[in-house]
């Protein structure tokens, strides 16, 4: 688990929501922000520590929905 701060790919945890992840059955969605380009996107809480920016990294998993925030 990481608290607010960069993960190893330079992604900041902005907010931890209570919304269920769409990709992981026991996870919730966290809002991450890329330290490189500023893109905000959703990540499930289990993968947040290894998540990469979907804008900077075309091979990264697409972000989860965060439009309600
Ligand atoms: Zn980025």
- Report field, pTM of the whole predicted structure over 0.75: yes
- What would the pLDDT profile of 5-35 be if each residue is shown by its tens digit? 689 999 999 999 999 999 999 999 999 999 9
Q: How confident is the model at residue 1 (pLDDT cuts 50, 70, 90)?
A: very low
Q: How far is the CA of 50 from the centre of ligand 1 (A)?
A: 14
Alpha-carbon span 14 to 33, nearest angstrom: 6
How many domains is the chain built from?
1
- Structural domain for 40, as ranges: 1-69
Q: How far is the CA of 5 from the centre of ligand 1 (A)?
A: 15
pLDDT at 6: 81
- What would the pLDDT profile of 27-64 be if each residue is shown by its tens digit? 999 999 999 999 999 999 999 999 999 999 999 999 99
* DSSP string for residues in 34-65: ETTT--EEEEETTTGGG---TTT-TTSPPPBP
Q: How far is the CA of 57 from the centre of ligand 1 (A)?
A: 7
């Amino acid at each position: 688990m990481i608290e607010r701060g960069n993960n190893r790919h330079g992604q900041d945890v902005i907010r931890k929501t209570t919304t269920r992840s769409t990709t992981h059955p026991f996870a919730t969605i966290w809002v991450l922000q890329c330290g490189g380009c500023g893109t905000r996107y959703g990540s499930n809480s289990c993968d947040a520590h290894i998540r990469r920016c979907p804008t900077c990294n075309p091979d990264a998993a697409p972000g989860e929905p965060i439009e309600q925030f």
